[in-house]
Structure formats: C-alpha cells, structure tokens
Structure 1
Amino acid sequence: MLKNLDPLLNADVLHALRSMGHGDELVVCDANFPGASVAQETVLGKLLRLDGVNAPRAIRAILSVMPLDTFIERPASRMEVVGEPNTIPAVQREVQIEINAAEGREVPFASVERFAFYERARKAYCVIATGEERGYGCFVFTKGVLLAPDAPQQ
C-alpha cells in the first residue's frame, strides 16, 4: 500500500500513466470491448487490467492521478450507442460525474461512433480493461500537464 494513492491502481497501470506524456490518449473499456486485440496496436502494445470494478470506479482511480488536457476542448470521449448517437447510457452518466469531480469543472464528452472509436483506440498510448458489464462503458481520455506552482502558465 502507498499513502495517498488509490489502491486500485496496480503497478502496470501506474507505470503506463506515468510514462504517458501531454496529449497521449488512454482508453478505458468495458468487459465486452475487444481490448486484447486492440491493445496490441497501441503504443504500450499490451492490455492493462482493472478487473472486478466498474468503469466509474476505475476512472475515479485513474483521474485521481492523471490530469486531463486543458489545451483541447474535449479531453474526454465516449463511445456512441449504435444508431442512437445522442443517447447517454447510465454508465456514461456515472462516468461524467466522476470526470467532473476529478477536474473540479464541467468536462463534457466528445461523442465517437463505434468503429471510429476502435480506430482511435488502436492509436492510443494504452488500453485499460475494466470489469464493467454494461454496454458502452468505453472512454478515451487525453492526458494533460501538471505545472509547478512557480512555472509560467501557458
């Protein structure tokens, strides 16, 4: 155990989050997403796992240490429901609450069509699979920066 660190974050996930740079993308996916095959094409090249937890809980842990990008309009994206792009399932509403709480501000989702989501995921830094059993529990997050208090703000 480590102080002030969510115990859900295992060594592999922490290493990936720390290795990512500003603008790199992270995919968090549900249990139905083809995570293993998609992850082979990512920068990391292997699937990371946070089994046994749902997407909101996994994302709360991840965003407790990873800042979202403030230089882009939509640093958080969600997979669209097929044929219903404006429908927001419960899992996505729950994750929206976690994002806003972690960032201390409203961070609305960008919406990504299912197959476009798969293509974007293949270009991400890494994919983290959760135990989320509900459909459309798939998200992309763009990493931001942490500046020292005395550093010039951009």
Structure 2
Amino acid sequence: MLNGINPLLTGELLNHLDAMGHSDSVLIVDAHFPAARLANRLVELPGTTSPEVLAAIRSVLPLDDSPAVDLMTSADGSVLPVQTELLRAARVESDAARFVDRFDFYRDAVDAYVIVRTGETRTYGCAIVRKGLVGIESA
C-alpha cells in the first residue's frame, strides 16, 4: 500500500499506467467482455465495479483531448445508469464522450495498451480512456 494511492490500483496496474505513452488507451470492461481473447495486457480486478475502477484510474491518469471517454452504445441507444456512473467516475460531461458500436469497441480493444476486467455485471459497463500529458489536466 502507498499513501494517497487508491487501493484498487495494484502494483501491476500502476506499472502499466506508468508505462503508457500519450494517447495510449486503457479499457475498463465489465465481466461479460471478451477481455482474455482481445487483450495484449490484462489486469483482472474481480469484485469491483467498472465505475469504481475508472475513478481509481482517473486519480492518477490525465485524459487525452476529446473524446475524453468512449462508451459502448447500448442496444436501444439510451444512456444507461452504469454509463452515467462511468462518466461521473471519469469526471467528464456526456458531451465529452463518444458512443461507439459494440463491434467497433471490440476492434479498439485490440489496440489498447491494457485492458482492466472488473467484476461489473451490468451490461455496457465498459469505457475506453486515453492517457493525456502528465502535468496537464484536460478534464
């Protein structure tokens, strides 16, 4: 444990976040997401929710320029409660988010620097954030 570091940020996850470069992406995904198949680097945090993991990551990770966050478009196109929580955790307004088709989201996952699979059981509890410049807060 370290002072001032959210306990959800394991040493493994912190190492990946530190190694990421500008515009590299981290996916925070729900338990339904095919993370093991798509990830180049996978961190598993069972027993957590996507919003709490995203909030922990945002405590140390600055966001890249717009779009600040990508969320998966729900089946009916509505913004679901878990997505509202993800936006709040990311500290962005809904107009700073981009909603992408599920299969486009999967394609983006292949290029992610790291995927963090949570224990989130609500559907569409997935987000993509891109690392901004350290020392410059864009959100």
Same fold (TM over 0.5): yes
Question: Which aligned pairs between 1:72-83 and structure 2 lie closer than 5 A?
Answer: 72-82=65-75
Structure 2: gaps (5+ residues): none
- Give the match for residue 95 of structure 1: 86
TM-score by length of 1: 0.83
Q: How does 1:1-154 map to 2 (within 5 A)?
A: 1-39=1-39, 45-69=40-64, 72-82=65-75, 84-85=76-77, 87-100=78-91, 106=93, 108-147=96-135
Question: Aligned residue pairs: how many?
Answer: 135
Q: 1:42 is matched with which residue?
A: none
State the Cα RMSD in Å. 1.4
Which one-letter code corresponds to 1:19 in the other structure? A
Q: Which protein shows a greater Rg?
A: 1
Cα deviation, 1:49-69, whole Å, max 9, x if unaligned, reads 121111111111110000101
Q: 2:72 touches 2:102 (CA, 8 Å); kept in 1?
A: yes
Identity of aligned residues (%): 37
What secondary structure does 1:93 align onto? helix
Identify unmatched segments of 5+ residues in structure 1. Answer: 40-44, 149-154
- The residue number in structure 2 matching 1:151 is none
| CA contact 2:38–2:109 (8 Å) conserved in 1 | yes
Name segments (4+ residues, structure 1) moved above 3 Å.
Answer: none
Question: Aligned partner of 1:30: which letter?
Answer: D
Q: CA deviation at 1:11?
A: 1.1
Residues 20-51 of structure 1 deviation map (CA, whole Å, 9 limit, x = unaligned): 01110111100000010010xxxxx2311121
In 1, Cα distance between equivalents of 2:63 and 2:22? 9
SS at match of 2:43: strand
The CA distance in 1 between the partners of 2:88 and 2:122, in whole Å, is 17
SS at match of 1:67: coil
TM-score by length of 2: 0.91
